[in-house]
């Protein structure tokens, strides 16, 4: 089962969902806020992609943190704890498909290549 992880009101997630639906690709949507996120999931994502890639340091949520809190994120453990506490700080969407590497973010060309639809 293909799973798209993200937050439903995120514009980039909406683009990814529209792309999947327009290409008739069945998927399950996992909303970090509604369905939750736990340490086991985050460690799996981090092992595959690296915690630095998962932590969205360019978004609004990161910018609203005070400097001391941002400076305290120095390793996988501190980053995962923050991402569990504040799921909006996770870069999205995150696409997981059986037998394929995880794909972070949305780019139409990448999705076409990922699903061999070039």
Q: Residue 54: which domain range? A: 3-114
DSSP element (H, E) containing 28: strand 28-31
CATH code: domain of residue 57: 3.40.30.10
pLDDT digits (tens, 9 = 90+) for 7-39: 999 999 999 999 999 999 999 999 999 999 999
Contact 12, 49 (CB under 8 A): no
Catalytic site residues? 10
Q: What is the structure's pLDDT at 117?
A: 61
List 3's β-bridge partners, or say none. Answer: 28, 96
Is this prediction's pTM over 0.75? yes
- CA-CA distance, 91 to 5, in Å (whole number)? 10
DSSP state at residue 100: S
Predicted confidence (pLDDT) at residue 109 exceeds the cutoff of 60: yes
pLDDT digits (tens, 9 = 90+) for 41-69: 999 999 999 999 999 999 999 999 999 99
């Amino acid at each position: 089962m293909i799973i798209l992880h993200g937050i439903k009101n995120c514009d980039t997630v909406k683009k990814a969902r529209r792309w999947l639906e327009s290409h008739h690709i069945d998927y399950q949507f996992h909303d970090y806020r509604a369905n939750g996120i736990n340490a086991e999931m985050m460690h799996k994502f981090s092992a595959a992609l690296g915690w630095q890639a998962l932590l969205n340091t360019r978004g609004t949520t990161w910018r609203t943190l005070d400097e001391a809190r941002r400076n305290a994120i120095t390793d996988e453990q501190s980053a995962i704890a923050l991402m569990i506490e504040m799921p909006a700080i996770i870069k999205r969407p995150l696409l997981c498909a059986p037998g394929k590497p995880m794909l972070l973010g949305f780019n139409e060309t990448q999705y076409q290549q990922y699903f061999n639809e070039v």
